[in-house]
A = this chain, B = another copy of it.
């Protein structure tokens, strides 16, 4: 189970990386084909070998994916690279700042949804309000005002 070869320098094969990341080997090859995740090297037999860096990379990919970034967008994020001495620095900064505002917007959307779900949850069983009926749309409508001011 645990590889003993101390010569291995922590390089892992595709199956191990797949298990670490919780995806299939097919998915890893698919990501490679699409330029998201290349093995750092191959062994004599042509087996893909991955280092800790790639473990980190696949985790980032999955994290970004879980919040709705497309593979193309993730590719862009991963390609972002600041080199202070280069003239392109300003361009990169602008790009990054655009991404930041996208992310902020998404966080705001999620917070709205979370708030509505909280109202929905509070309206249920626990509260003393006369609400006998509530959906997420009505909760969204109720918004920050109008209703419970109960803070945690």
**B-contacting residues of A (Cβ < 8 Å)?**
2, 10, 52-53, 55-57, 60, 63-64, 66-69, 77-78, 80-85, 89-90, 92-93, 96-97, 99-100, 103-107, 109-114, 117-118, 120-121, 123-125, 131-137, 140-141, 148, 150, 152
A81 nearest in chain B by CB position: B135
Do the beta carbons of A137 and B67 come within 8 Å of each other? no
Known contacts A68-B67, A89-B125, A104-B114, A60 near B150 by CB under 8 Å: no
**Given A78-B137, A135-B78, A100 and B121 contact (CB-CB distance below 8 Å):** yes
Identify the closest chain B residue to A151 (Cβ): B20
A52 to chain B, nearest CB (A): 6
Q: Could you write out 21 A-B pairs with CB less than 8 Å apart?
A: A53-B137, A55-B150, A60-B136, A64-B113, A66-B106, A67-B106, A67-B110, A77-B113, A81-B135, A82-B120, A82-B134, A83-B132, A89-B124, A93-B121, A96-B120, A97-B121, A99-B117, A100-B117, A100-B121, A103-B113, A103-B114
